[in-house]
């Protein structure tokens, strides 16, 4: 067990593509944690999708042994955390597991979106922060300008910032020395009852669930029985160890150390991020801030080829083993067949799950429009949660509907403030605060979550050229004038295209939807009405004209009876097709309509 004074636990905070993963690689390489022949780019990003997008989805850790210039040996524990707002809770818990952060800023670009959002997580966790200015090998590097930005916008002293090129290795040894000299050592009592924080967990097909833990007090040894305080479950510890970054077994973990345990746990759902772990017979005060992960965005996942439904079921079952925040239940649609109604932490979480299913299991998917949970209050004083707009009861039975609201904090450069305020106003936002920090403005808005989950984040990045940072927290539910808008094709409702909208915006949304569908649906031998309706009232309509041969414009040797026979045959065919019912809407039409801009 390492002495507390010789342990440093830290994370790296950075915007996308500012060099966080490359810096982590150089720290691992320069300390010979991994043999030179085994080194590869983005050592701590294990999934292909993480490497391709340049994002971190799962928190990863590595233990580094470092001998400082003063001759002392230190143990450095690095936790590489996700940066997207969808995983804000996991980030906040990971930050609570360490005492310091390296703030990495691209010296050619300066402070950007996720830099701000994530550094405030570190400040809230009372971290000691060491600024690191990366990419100094590039000609456009401007360290003095970036230092001024860090001081003005974030408000931390940048006079001792370290100039680094993670690509060439310049400044890496200075960074390691700064970690040892400036970041505080952890605190803890080895003789106290065991208290450990559950930082993360994932499923391994051989070992079961692997649990990443930070020991706060006490010691953890192999063979002991432990208890998860949130659900009271008891488990027998099979093995404990650390990551270097490969798994390496150890005899025990003491205060301040970060490592893993396995205990024949079969489901990730039994291990909740932020939970407190102790010995079976001990009673300790749980660590503050714990809350179970709650899905906030719901949508339907359907296979393009209905024959692949069982394959989709198997894929979703396997993904759910490894993701406790992902929920699902089976549903059927008259238009799309059998599929699953799934719950996600946000749109990025949705995209990651969908991409993994399509890539790892080779299943092409149709994704319905994302929606949130509504509280529907009926006139008989009962209330239920609405996950799917298609399940909305008749409006005559509904007294009122409540929608989830969020407190959104947006930091943006002055020149883009007008566009941001207009965007929030268009999304039914209520401004609560507007302040300035240097050349940046901070706008705080009360926004409906329904307006945010669709494409708000993309639109915000678009109007601010990527310079805005966006973070939010759920505030609760509030009543508003919401209605269910149905889409009917040939007088048949298409449940997959139903959505909840504000009554004032229903006509605009409905008109855009029917115009889009008119362009997407192929013409048939008869007219096809495409309508958007609220209850029994049609609010928008387009008619797709029939595709037919103009037999009257052709001459068949003057044989009028033959022309009449062809016309009669055409009429009979149209009548027969109407009797057989449904319009064949191609899958591409659904996919394009469901991806419409709100």
List, as residue ranges, the binding site for GTP.
Answer: 17-22, 134-137
Q: DSSP 3-state assignment of 340?
A: strand
Distance CA 315, CA 323 (A): 13
Where would I find the beta strands (DSSP E) of 258-304? 258-262, 276-279, 297-303
User: By C-alpha distance, which of 187, 193, 190, 213 is closest to 284?
Assistant: 193
Q: CA nearest 337: which of 297, 308, 372?
A: 308
Structure tokens at 92: 């906040």
The CA–CA distances, whole Å, from 146 to 11, 140, 143, 177 equal 21, 12, 5, 22
Helical packing angle, 417-426 and 456-463, nearest 10°? 160
List C-alpha distances in Å: 78 to 64, 167, 232: 8, 19, 30
The span from the CA of 581 to the CA of 136, in Å, is 67
- What is the maximum span of the chain, computed from C-alpha positions, in angstroms? 108
Contact present, 133 and 102 (Cβ < 8 Å): no
Tell me the residue ranges of DSSP E strands in 26-178: 60-67, 73-80, 100-106, 128-134, 162-163
The rounded distance, in Å, linking the Cα atoms of 408 and 410 is 6
E-strand stretches of 45-127: 60-67, 73-80, 100-106
């Amino acid at each position: 067990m390492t002495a507390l004074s010789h342990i440093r636990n830290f994370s790296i905070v950075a915007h996308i593509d500012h060099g966080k993963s490359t810096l982590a690689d150089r720290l691992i390489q320069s300390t010979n944690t991994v043999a030179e022949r085994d080194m590869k780019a983005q050592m701590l990003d294990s999934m292909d999708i993480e490497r391709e997008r340049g994002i971190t989805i799962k928190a990863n850790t590595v233990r580094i042994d470092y001998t400082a210039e003063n001759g002392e040996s230190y143990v450095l524990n690095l936790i590489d955390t996700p940066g997207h707002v969808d995983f804000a809770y996991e980030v906040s818990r990971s930050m609570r597991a360490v005492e310091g952060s390296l703030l990495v800023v691209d010296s050619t670009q300066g402070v950007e979106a996720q830099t701000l959002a994530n550094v405030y997580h570190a400040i809230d966790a009372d971290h000691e922060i060491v600024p690191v200015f990366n990419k100094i090998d590039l000609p456009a590097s401007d360290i003095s300008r970036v230092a001024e930005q860090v001081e003005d916008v974030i408000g931390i002293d940048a006079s001792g910032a370290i100039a680094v090129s993670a690509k060439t290795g310049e400044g890496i040894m200075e960074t390691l020395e700064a970690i040892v000299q400036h970041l505080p050592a952890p605190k803890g009592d080895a003789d106290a009852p065991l208290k450990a924080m559950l930082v993360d967990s994932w499923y391994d097909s051989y070992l079961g669930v692997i649990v990443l833990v930070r020991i706060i007090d006490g010691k953890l040894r192999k063979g002991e029985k432990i208890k998860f305080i949130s659900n009271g479950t008891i488990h027998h510890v099979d093995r404990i160890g650390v990551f270097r970054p490969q798994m390496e077994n150890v005899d025990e973990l003491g205060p301040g150390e970060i490592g893993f345990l396995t205990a024949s746990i079969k489901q990730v759902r039994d291990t909740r991020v932020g939970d407190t772990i102790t010995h079976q017979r001990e009673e300790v005060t749980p660590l503050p801030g714990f809350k179970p992960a709650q899905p906030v965005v719901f949508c339907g996942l359907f296979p393009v080829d209905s024959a692949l439904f069982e394959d989709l079921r198997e894929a979703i079952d396997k993904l759910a083993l490894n993701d406790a925040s992902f929920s699902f239940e089976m549903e059927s649609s008259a238009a799309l067949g059998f599929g699953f109604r799934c719950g996600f932490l946000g749109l990025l979480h949705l995209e990651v799950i969908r991409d993994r299913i399509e890539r790892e299991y080779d299943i092409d998917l149709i994704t319905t429009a994302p929606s949130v949970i509504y509280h529907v209050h009926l006139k008989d004083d009962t209330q239920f949660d609405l996950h799917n707009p298609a399940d909305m009861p008749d409006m005559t039975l509904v007294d009122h509907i409540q929608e989830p609201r969020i407190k959104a904090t947006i930091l943006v450069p002055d020149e883009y403030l007008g566009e941001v305020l207009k965007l929030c106003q268009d999304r039914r936002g209520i401004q609560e605060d507007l302040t300035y920090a240097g050349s940046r403005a901070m706008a705080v808005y009360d926004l409906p979550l329904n307006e945010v989950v669709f494409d708000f984040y993309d639109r915000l990045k678009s109007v601010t050229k990527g310079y805005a940072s966006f973070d939010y927290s759920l505030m609760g539910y509030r009543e508003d004038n919401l209605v269910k808008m149905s889409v009917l094709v040939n007088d048949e409702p298409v449940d997959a295209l139903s959505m909840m909208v504000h009554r004032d915006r229903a006509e605009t949304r409905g008109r855009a939807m029917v115009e889009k569908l008119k362009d997407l649906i192929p013409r048939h031998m008869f007219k096809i009405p495409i309508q958007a309706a609220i209850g029994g009232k049609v609010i928008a309509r387009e008619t797709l004209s029939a595709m037919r041969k103009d037999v009257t414009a052709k001459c068949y040797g003057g044989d009028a009876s033959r022309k009449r026979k062809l016309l009669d045959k055409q009429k009979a065919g149209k009548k027969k097709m109407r009797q057989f019912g449904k319009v064949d809407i191609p899958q591409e039409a659904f996919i394009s309509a469901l991806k419409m801009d709100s």
